[in-house]
Structure 1
Amino acid sequence: MDPIQHTLSENRALTAFRELFEGSDWKIRLPEGADSTEDVVLVDGDGHRYHAVLKSFNEGRPDRVTALFAQALLEARGRAKKAHLHPAVLIWVTSASRSLIERLIDFHREYGDREPFAVLSMDGTEYVELPGLRLSQRPDHSAGSHRGGHSAPPRLVFTDSFQWMIKLLLASDIKRKDLINAESVRYSTATELARAAGVSTMTATRLINALKAEGFLDSSHFLKLVRRRQLAERWKAEYRKPPLALSTKFVSPAPPEQQLHKLLKKHTGVIGLFHAAEALGYGHVKGGTPAIWIPSVKEAESWRPLRVAKEGERPDLILQQSSFPQSVQKGAVARDGLLVTDVIQTWLDVSAHPARGAELASELEHGILANVIGDKA
């Protein structure tokens, strides 16, 4: 294989497995000093660590991939033993047939020693045999997925990318088109949704399967969310945990609003909560300290225009680190030269705020979002 093409395949493979584990108890990391993405470390929710060998293929011939799988199994055993970890194997191919998956399963049963392994492909095929994470699906089947006897049903987990895609599915029902940075279109396939969201087709397929499994999606004509009130309550529950936050003061005595514009031209930040609602034209909660969603509170501690507010001192800004930066940033809309959270994100954020947040969330649910996430949807 051409070296450049091999590197591209490795990158796509690593990205695919990162997306697979997103929202689960499993994490994938590159070991320190690794010069190749073929060697990765898997960590489960209990802290058990696995040295996995990741092999990628641009074709799915069963004989060649099986030979590659055997090689990966031997390499994983040897490297895991040196590192005092458990071995595992990860395989990525552009296209995986049913015969390929069955051949790898048979080979593993005969020659493996119950090592965890997973196979992913660009066409959406998944076969995952990891402790606590077992999946078997092919999105081209009539029901959208194939589930064997030891397969787990897909779970709807509100990951960052999943939330952004759900926003895209709801955007066409928002009557005002300047309230979210998304096209007002209907999506018919996972590929269309993935392209609009900037994610892989596999990630979009996983969301669609999870929504279908829990009765939140009707795909008879296009991808339409149903039972939205129940979905909304599940979604809001993700925001009950307070974010990491930092109370700050401006160093300069210049007007705070003027300094805020200058600050957000230099640093990435999105105005949220009540100030976002006011900028969008909704909500009656005025004043208060602006809340800004930023990528990292730790990095913000060194921002020169700001200092940490002292105990008992009224802050000029509350900097908050978003747990879902992709969804916040991609949906944000411009107001007076600054970015503010979209109307759906604003609703989610205020819903968990202890100071009149529930009141504003209810106002949005029964007003502009009534046809989006409310009972009228």
Structure 2
Amino acid sequence: MPPSLSHPSAVAVENLAKQFRAFGWSVDEEPGDGHPRPDLIAAKGALRYVVELKSAPEARSDRVIALLSQAILQSRRYAEDWNGHPLAVIHVKQLSPLLRQKVEQFHRDYASQSAIALVSDTDGSYFIAPGLDAFNSKPPRNEIREKGIKPRRASELFSDLNQWMLKVMLAPEVPEHLLRAPRNDYGSVKELADAADVSAMSASRFIQRLREEGFLDESGGLFRLVRRRELFRRWQSAAMRSSPEWRMSFLVPAGIRKLHQAAESLGACVGVFAAADMLKLGHVSGAPPVLYMQRLQAPPSYWTGLVPSKPGEEAQLILKQAPAPQSLFRAAVRIDEVMVSDVIQIWLDASANPARGMEQADFLKHGVLSQVLEGSE
């Protein structure tokens, strides 16, 4: 296929930029003067995507997948130069359910670590990318009738309490010193509700949603999480939501003991890289430690040993609102009376952190969490 045919039109680029802006992303449509360069760069919170967009003149799956493969390779190369996560996007005239199915199969078999998307001017969009689930349009009406299921937002499966119940179901597969939760098998909603200390209604809705999404196997009389790769990809995406934070400095020289004192005094939970270090799973150094708060209040009402960092000053500590406080604080482990994020939470948070977070996440994925994240797949 001649390269000129795959080059996106200015209208296609602008429409994609508008889509990002509609969801609160900042967009740079002319990222620098370098050649070659990405079609646009989109950023929101800690997440930054370097986008390669191509247009498919035909909606045939073989043509679209060939273009997608090229876009994946180019976006990866651009991401190295432009400091972000690669995102390969294909603009198609018609986005049929069959084309989505073919592309999803290709992604699952050959490009599961890549962020991709299909966009159409008339048939909506289909994104497989952390932090971009909200971009997915509803299926056409006839597709909804065929399936008989009303589409729901991805966030409904990953509410605060649902994330906690996922950890409860996964706990038997995780060492006790890395995640605090009951360790049992569950064959009924009541058993799960009692173990997780949630209402029967909350547990019932959670289990029903897992059934609808195809993430639950009950054939052996017990609840088993299946399709782990897709489940964790979507959980990872839901966890990309940004939350308020305060960048702080210590009044006296900082050290590990000061971090412990701050966590104890604030009733906070150590997160991300510092938490990984405390669990002896650290892989990244140099990032300021993060303390998660159940409720973030404006400085200077915090512990007297901290003050807000001055403009332009590098923070020694980041106080951050916990995006899912029930899940984070219930599953936190204790080390020397200090609450520390569980290993699954560290993996989720590191995945969304631009400061070498993917290195830490991959270290956990291929190490202590390898069997948990993959399951029997």
Match of 1:212 in 2: 211
Instruction: Measure how far apart 1:165 and its partner are.
Output: 0.1
Structure 2 equivalent of residue 315 of structure 1: 315
Amino acid at match of 2:329: Q
Other structure's SS at 1:194 match: helix
Q: Contact 1:273 / 1:291 at 8 angstroms: preserved in 2?
A: yes
| 8 A Cα contact 1:190 1:204, kept in partner | yes
Opposite residue 291 of structure 2, the aligned amino acid is I
Conserved 8 A contact 2:283-2:363: no
1:220-268 CA deviation, whole Å, 9 max, x = no partner? 22110000000000000012233211100122x2544333322222221
Q: Distance in 1 between matches of 2:233 and 2:148?
A: 30
CA positional deviation for 1:183: 2.4
> What stretches of structure 2 of length at least 5 have no aligned partner?
1-146
Query: Counterparts of 1:376 and 1:370 in 2: how far apart (Å)?
Result: 11
Structure 1 residue 197: Cα displacement: 1.3
Partner of 2:123 in structure 1? none
Give yes or no for contact 2:232–2:373 (8 Å, CA) kept in 1: yes
Contact 1:154–1:213 under 8 Å retained in 2: no
Do the aligned partners of 1:228 and 1:375 also contact (CA within 8 Å) in 2?
yes
List, as ranges, runs of 4+ consecutive aligned residues in structure 1 with deviation greater than 3 Å: 149-156
- SS of 1:258's equivalent in the other structure is helix
Contact 1:217 1:225 in 2 (8 A): yes
Q: 1:171-186, aligned counterparts within 5 Å?
A: 171-174=171-174, 176-186=175-185
Q: Deviations over 1:137-174 (max 9, x none)?
A: xxxxxxxxxxxx99847765210000000011111112
Structure 2: how far apart are the matches of 1:305 and 1:362?
A: 35
Tell me, in whole angstroms, the C-alpha distance in 1 between the residues paired with 2:356 and 2:148. Answer: 47
1:359 correspondence with 2:359: yes
- The amino acid of 2:230's aligned partner reads Q
In structure 2, what is the equivalent of residue 263 of structure 1? Answer: 262
Contact map agreement 1:366 1:374 (CA 8 A) in 2: no
Q: Separation in 1 of the partners of 2:280 and 2:256?
A: 18
Alignment-derived partner of residue 333 in structure 2: 333
Tell me the amino acid that sits aligned with residue 355 of structure 1. Answer: A
1:297–1:321 CA contact under 8 A, matched in 2: yes
Higher RCO (CA < 8 A, seq sep 6+): 2
Identity within the alignment, %:
39
Provide the secondary structure at the position in 1 that maps to 2:176.
Answer: coil
**Whole-Å Cα distance in 1 between the matches of residues 316 and 373 of structure 2?**
33
Q: What letter corresponds to residue 242 of structure 1 in structure 2?
A: S
Q: Distance in 1 between matches of 2:241 and 2:148?
A: 33
Aligned residue runs from structure 1 range 33-182, under 5 A:
152=150, 156-174=156-174, 176-182=175-181
Structure 1 240/154 Cα, relative in aligned 2: closer, same or farther at 3 Å? closer
The C-alpha deviation readout for 1:295-326, integer Å capped at 9, x for no partner, is 22225541132211011212221011011001
> Which structure 1 residue ranges, 5 or more long, are not aligned?
1-148
Q: Could you say what secondary structure the match of 2:178 adopts?
A: coil
- Tell me what 1:272 maps to: 271
Give the drift of 1:177.
2.0
Q: Which residue pairs with 2:228 in the alignment? A: 228
Question: Match of 2:296?
Answer: 297
CA distance in 2, matches of 1:186, 1:255: 44
Indicate the structure with greater helix content. 2
Q: Which residue is equivalent to 2:74?
A: none
Deviation at 1:376, TM superposition (A): 4.8
- Kept after mapping to 1: 8 A contact 2:260/2:338: yes
**1:73-113 alpha-carbon deviations (Å, 9 max, x no partner):** xxxxxxxxxxxxxxxxxxxxxxxxxxxxxxxxxxxxxxxxx
Against the structure 1 CA distance between its residues 163 and 250, is the aligned structure 2 distance closer, same or farther, given a 3 Å change threshold? same
Which residue of structure 2 aligns with residue 194 of structure 1?
193
| Matched residue, 2:19 | none
Asked if 2 retains the 8 angstrom alpha-carbon contact of 1:171 and 1:184, the reply is yes
1:368 aligns with 2:368: yes
Q: Is the 8 A contact 2:254 2:316 kept in 1?
A: no
C-alpha displacement of 1:207: 0.6
- For the residues of structure 1 that align with 2:149 and 2:217, how far apart are their CA atoms? 23
**Greater C-alpha Rg:** 1
Length-normalised TM-score, structure 2 = 0.57
User: 8 Å contact 2:263–2:270 — kept in the other structure?
Assistant: no
- SS of alignment partner, residue 178 of structure 1: helix
Instruction: Indicate conservation of the 8 Å contact 1:256/1:316, yes or no.
Output: no
Q: What SS does structure 1 have at the residue aligned with 2:370?
A: coil
Conserved? CA contact 1:216–1:227, under 8 Å? yes
